[in-house]
Structure 1
């Protein structure tokens, strides 16, 4: 048996006042559409005139004081009348509803009824439900025959009143359709056989006597009171929250011996000592003995203080199928506690204080299909505890303290979320659903193991720590798995190691996959290519900055990529989808996004979320602006240059030949050309002083290089730039072999050189990348760059170092991503030009400002 609702989603029925009824009901307040008349909060003092076609008339929350035989026009079609919660006391006169002959539901609840005529409800032959809750009614409403002639009445709600006695008028015996009576929260102290005699011979679906302190405030003589439910069949009897102890429960069970009750609700009781009330007893073998002939199928003993399930506690309940003992203080299950429950199918022991389970705890349950043990403190379970429960299909052990699962039998549904599992043992499992969310699983070996479980259809591994992967694992094959939940893990750490990219390879029937909140900044190539049956994929709340059409499964229909970092997505990625969620990304609203914006406004793909949730992040001037309100007219290059095409063509044709000849000449003889330029410069400016403005720096530049590179640095650079090598050189350079103070701390030497030099020139070679002191000096230079606006760090890459080799070093990677660097020339004829440019960089002062050539998108003004 698959138990519905086991995933933990609870549906609650909320009873309250709907203040904004218009969107729900489809009409405005204080009006009628011919079928429904809505008059909530309309300050009415009398019944309004409505069309005779009206089927629903809603008059609650007004000031109507009196209802008489002439208050309503003849409304033959009216089925529902709501007249509850008036802001004044209400008087209901004789034949008050006689003009409503086909009324089915009459709601007078939450009124202060000052006067109710004995014949108030006459003339309602089709009335099915009568709501009189919280009306201040007394015993008289039951004793005096107010409900006579209501032959169609099925549901009667008298809860929240001031009824003390259930002495029913004989006319209750004529209510042949009566099925449900609710006496919740009255003051009924005793119910005896003679009071309910008019109900004998009837079958009721519900009789609620809860929250009345029934039998708990008086000393009972059951010999005189006898069985209040004699010759009655009750589908549900609710006597919860009456303060019943073990003795009261035992006496009540004995008194109703033989009465047929399918479902007995005894929740919120006072049975059991808990941890501090030793004078309060736990139920024993005699407590429910009187129910032996009552054919009880469902028994609710939840919300109490039962500490121990005693020997053969439920032995007489041979037909019981559902037993709810949740929300007690159960810490002990005595051997044979469940003896005799041969037909029990559902056992709920959740929210108790069980710490361990033994092999003998569940003996006597040959037919049990579902056991709920969630929210206990279970840390130890013996290996054979569940092995002998031959019909067990579902086992719920969520929110306990389990560290192993050796005890798990081969069953259909397994719920183990919220425990302390670090790894899974290699045991034989067969299941349709396995729930392991909110544990401590780290290795993807656990996932590969679970994917091999036969017949598995749903696997839930949310909120674990899946982050590591071993090399060389063969792909797991599952021909049954349909839904896989891997959200809130750390798959990025596993995939960036280069392994486990084939984890989904054998899942040819997978239909739904959740990978949300996994810190993903890339998708391994082809990771989804084998998921030919996948229809829904969630990649939300990751760090993806781009997606390509080949990244997604071939037959995907629904995609969630919300809350990522998509900057300028390719619309072709989403073109084949049925629906997509792209809300809360970081779109860069420049012209590169124009194709995507056009697609967004024209596509037939369903876009989840509101327009306001798809907005620009950059530039700042458009931050928060919806993509739907942007124009891309200024981004069409052909439109911008259409009038200039012919002129540009002519100009290009004339100049291109001259340009190519010039470029070829300069490229071929660039070294000679540069030397000529320098000679001419010296001749023209030979009489001008070479003095430079004085500044506060000791050195023009600090040269940072590996000691293994000293010879070529000296011959290729120092001899041509450093003033101590030649009088023609203008630069005062600092380098380790000459200028560092011997015996002083090496870091202090580096720090002094960095801060006493105008520029820091790092000659990054293969030796430099393997020299820790060089990398430390590079880091110090970057530190200075953060506070010096003149960009003092100059990086020169020497040799055939690739971009990848540079990016492997964190400090250098940050510099390369944000700033430009120089490369040492490979051709000797470029040496003079390079040294000249390097000298200019060293002597340059001030900061150049880059032109902002970003084409801003224009915001469309919203038209009223």
Structure 2
């Protein structure tokens, strides 16, 4: 609830907040009611800073049993009374008390006794004079204080009596930064024998001597960043000034200045592991010799930071006394020399050398790194001459353990194929911002330099801004462990298929700001299969089906790869219809290949039509198919009488089947046609007496060359005809393979009824064997002639 206008906070307002753990009421105008916080049994953090409170007393009886941090900063508290913290007497968890900028002037004896378990006290920004600070330290002597912050208190002079009261405490951390401190009296820290961290950052100390740090026998970290600053005079560090600090492990001298580093400046630092002198001004560091760091001969130093210390020359054996050194930082200096290898003599344990952003140029030789065989990280970005690495043998060949090599920003134009030979453990190679345009030119004399073949375990490759306009097919072969490749800000346009095929482990691909117009699967399918980050923006993409379809489809389908700026940085350059529009606006449907769809359409349509036609055929002409099928089967299996000669004798030319009602028509119209050439078999006239009707029908049909049906509605209802005569006639037609049926229609009978009653259809017979009785009398002779022709035709089915 900070930065509001809360004036009165009553007990009833928070009485139900029993589970509340943090209450922030800073920057209000509080007037606290007595025992306001008694209900907050779970509260761990209470901030009532900047409320113009006149007293630290927030209650009269014990409360806030679980409080860990209390912030009273920026209030108008001038006096700490004995009873002010009684309300916290049961708060055994209290760790931090912030009373920054409270203008404290008076401390009553025993004011901190109720909170004797306090471990961190912050008194920053208090305008307390030295006697009040001494009183503060005395009052803290009975507490568990561990860390004390006294920043920005304008403690110009640190007297040898200031911290006397802390002698019986376990103080391990003291921050005196930003105090404009100019003088530290000898013995000022002698009472702080348990102190482990001392911060004197941003002060104005003019002189360090042997007595400055006297008594700090347990100190492990000393921060002097901007504590020794050159103004009118240059600060002085006497010999043996750090000798009392036998347990010191980290000495930070960033942005400091001193006259000289002598042979005894760091003497006595027998536990020192880190020395940071970066961004500092020491005249003796401009030309480093074998005596510069001789005072560290007895130190197990592991990290030395000399960044931006104006080094111009490193002489042979300059670091030879630092036998345990593992990290050496020499960035942002003015080194101008050829490294012969003797400069790093004695550094057999060093693993990291940083020498980037040098304001002069360094040249290399084949022996430059022979004395650092365990080197793992080497940065030479913006430091080398252009021809520094173009030599045989390679200056990096003595470094089999090298994992990181930075050669960026060096204007390197030529690299030999053996430059990385032997670097079997190299994982990171930085070559960005050089001039390697011709390195991979296929038309160059001698062909492209395939220098990466010696670094098969490479995981990160950065080659931005080199002017590349092509990549040889073999340039990236074998880099199956590569996880990140960056080729941004080049001139790459048309990439050959399969150049990235070995990059199956790639996670980051950066091709920003090139001239790529197409993203084809033949080039990018393998590297993009497992990507987590793709950077290909600001290329002039050709938004056509051939160039961009696969890429847009991949972008729509991918859910794993992050593609920053996809909506506004991936823009089409051509054609005009898509100019300056996002590639995601490209209509992929316009690229669908219609050939397979046309084939599928034709196939499916044909199948549907054939299915429909087959269904219709079966529905309306199934009988015909079945009829001819039966004929085929019978002829194939030999059930026909084809072997019987057609010219055999029949007693009758036609067996006449008619309904009893139609007998008179037969007598009138059929019998008169009989003569020597034509004879009919009539049931009533020609049946043999004494023979059963069934036997007579079968016998007479066999003796007849044709079976003639006189078709009327009455015939279709005749039981004898439907049950026996029609069946036997159908046997004649199908099983005997004889075209022996003639139909004479006296009435117009539907083919469906004909089929249902007689099992015959018009389509089963020849058209000449189907006759209709004429309506007009003048056509009767023609009917007779047709009938005689039908009766005279052969019974053999025509092929």
Task: Verify same fold: TM over 0.5.
Answer: yes
Q: CA–CA distance in 2 between the matches of 1:310 and 1:53?
A: 62
Q: CA–CA distance in 1 between the matches of 2:256 and 2:336?
A: 23
Aligned ranges 1:839-854 → 2 under 5 Å: none
Aligned ranges 1:250-269 → 2 under 5 Å: 250=209, 252-253=211-212, 256-257=214-215, 259-269=217-227
Cα 1:600–1:366 change in 2 (3 A) is closer
2:506 pairs with one of 539, 557, 581: 557
Cα 1:617–1:551 change in 2 (3 A) is same
Residue in structure 1 matched with residue 191 of structure 2 by the alignment? 230
2:154 pairs with one of 171, 183, 187: 187
Q: CA–CA distance in 1 between the matches of 2:39 and 2:385?
A: 69
User: Is the Cα–Cα contact under 8 Å of residues 307 and 329 in structure 2 kept in the other structure?
Assistant: yes
Residue in structure 2 matched with residue 500 of structure 1 by the alignment? 448
Deviations 1:302-333 (A, max 9, x none): 43332322242233444433333333322226
1:599 pairs with one of 537, 545, 554: 554
Whether 1:388 and 2:346 are equivalent positions in the alignment is yes
User: Is the Cα–Cα contact under 8 Å of residues 151 and 175 in structure 2 kept in the other structure?
Assistant: yes
Residue in structure 1 matched with residue 539 of structure 2 by the alignment? 585
Aligned ranges 1:782-797 → 2 under 5 Å: none
Whether 1:617 and 2:584 are equivalent positions in the alignment is no
Cα 1:565–1:269 change in 2 (3 A) is same
Residue in structure 2 matched with residue 75 of structure 1 by the alignment? 40
How far apart are 1:66 and its partner, in Å? Answer: 3.0
User: Is the Cα–Cα contact under 8 Å of residues 531 and 553 in structure 1 kept in the other structure?
Assistant: no
Deviations 1:513-545 (A, max 9, x none): 222222222221132222122232222232333
Residue in structure 2 matched with residue 845 of structure 1 by the alignment? none
Residue in structure 2 matched with residue 467 of structure 1 by the alignment? 413
Aligned ranges 1:31-180 → 2 under 5 Å: 39-41=1-3, 43-46=5-8, 49=14, 51-60=17-26, 62-72=27-37, 74-84=39-49, 92-95=56-59, 99-110=63-74, 119-121=83-85, 122-123=87-88, 124-133=91-100, 135-140=101-106, 144-165=109-130, 166-168=133-135, 170-176=138-144, 178-180=145-147
How far apart are 1:240 and its partner, in Å? Answer: 4.1
Q: CA–CA distance in 2 between the matches of 1:78 and 1:466?
A: 63
Residue segments in structure 1 that go unaligned for 5+ positions in a row? 1-38, 413-428, 647-864
Q: CA–CA distance in 2 between the matches of 1:99 and 1:621?
A: 75
Residue in structure 2 matched with residue 312 of structure 1 by the alignment? 264
Residue in structure 2 matched with residue 677 of structure 1 by the alignment? none
Cα 1:237–1:461 change in 2 (3 A) is same
Cα 1:350–1:192 change in 2 (3 A) is same
How far apart are 1:234 and its partner, in Å? Answer: 0.8
Cα 1:242–1:570 change in 2 (3 A) is closer
Deviations 1:262-288 (A, max 9, x none): 33333434577x9xx6x6564332545
Q: CA–CA distance in 2 between the matches of 1:530 and 1:448?
A: 23
How far apart are 1:182 and its partner, in Å? Answer: 0.6
User: Is the Cα–Cα contact under 8 Å of residues 203 and 235 in structure 1 kept in the other structure?
Assistant: no
Deviations 1:117-154 (A, max 9, x none): 65444323212222233x2332435x554433324422
How far apart are 1:600 and its partner, in Å? Answer: 1.7
Residue in structure 2 matched with residue 488 of structure 1 by the alignment? 433
Whether 1:212 and 2:197 are equivalent positions in the alignment is no
Cα 1:79–1:549 change in 2 (3 A) is farther
Whether 1:328 and 2:280 are equivalent positions in the alignment is yes
Q: CA–CA distance in 2 between the matches of 1:548 and 1:294?
A: 64
Cα 1:314–1:514 change in 2 (3 A) is closer
Cα 1:451–1:599 change in 2 (3 A) is same
How far apart are 1:606 and its partner, in Å? Answer: 0.9
Bigger mean CA deviation after superposition, 156-165 or 545-554: 545-554
Q: CA–CA distance in 1 between the matches of 2:82 and 2:575?
A: 77
User: Is the Cα–Cα contact under 8 Å of residues 358 and 385 in structure 1 kept in the other structure?
Assistant: yes
Cα 1:44–1:376 change in 2 (3 A) is same
Bigger mean CA deviation after superposition, 370-379 or 229-238: 370-379
How far apart are 1:616 and its partner, in Å? Answer: 2.8
TM-score computed with the length of structure 1 as normaliser = 0.58
Cα 1:369–1:115 change in 2 (3 A) is same
Deviations 1:316-369 (A, max 9, x none): 444433333333322226874544431240333332233323346556544444
Q: CA–CA distance in 2 between the matches of 1:474 and 1:323?
A: 34
Q: CA–CA distance in 2 between the matches of 1:598 and 1:325?
A: 55
User: Is the Cα–Cα contact under 8 Å of residues 188 and 212 in structure 1 kept in the other structure?
Assistant: yes
Whether 1:434 and 2:384 are equivalent positions in the alignment is no
Q: CA–CA distance in 1 between the matches of 2:566 and 2:199?
A: 51
Q: CA–CA distance in 2 between the matches of 1:68 and 1:229?
A: 45
Instruction: Give aligned pairs, total.
Output: 571
Tell me the SS of whatever aligns to 2:394: helix
Tell me the SS of whatever aligns to 2:551: helix
Aligned ranges 1:304-703 → 2 under 5 Å: 304-332=256-284, 336-341=291-296, 342-345=298-301, 346-359=303-316, 361-362=318-319, 364-380=321-337, 384-400=342-358, 401-405=360-364, 408-410=368-370, 431-438=375-382, 439-442=384-387, 445=390, 449=394, 452=397, 453-468=399-414, 476=421, 478-496=423-441, 497-498=443-444, 499-547=447-495, 550-554=498-502, 555-558=504-507, 559-571=509-521, 573-574=524-525, 575-579=528-532, 580-592=534-546, 593-612=548-567, 613-619=569-575, 622-636=578-592, 638=594
User: Is the Cα–Cα contact under 8 Å of residues 76 and 101 in structure 1 kept in the other structure?
Assistant: yes
Bigger mean CA deviation after superposition, 588-597 or 44-53: 44-53
Deviations 1:742-764 (A, max 9, x none): xxxxxxxxxxxxxxxxxxxxxxx
User: Is the Cα–Cα contact under 8 Å of residues 225 and 255 in structure 2 kept in the other structure?
Assistant: yes
User: Is the Cα–Cα contact under 8 Å of residues 101 and 125 in structure 1 kept in the other structure?
Assistant: yes
User: Is the Cα–Cα contact under 8 Å of residues 80 and 106 in structure 2 kept in the other structure?
Assistant: no
Q: CA–CA distance in 2 between the matches of 1:449 and 1:486?
A: 16
How far apart are 1:442 and its partner, in Å? Answer: 5.0
Tell me the SS of whatever aligns to 1:628: helix
How far apart are 1:51 and its partner, in Å? Answer: 4.2
Q: CA–CA distance in 1 between the matches of 2:453 and 2:121?
A: 61
How far apart are 1:550 and its partner, in Å? Answer: 0.9
Cα 1:535–1:78 change in 2 (3 A) is same
Residue segments in structure 2 that go unaligned for 5+ positions in a row? 603-799
Tell me the SS of whatever aligns to 1:173: helix
Q: Which has the larger radius of gyration?
A: 2
How far apart are 1:485 and its partner, in Å? Answer: 1.7
Q: CA–CA distance in 2 between the matches of 1:114 and 1:598?
A: 71
Cα 1:167–1:70 change in 2 (3 A) is same
How far apart are 1:215 and its partner, in Å? Answer: 6.2
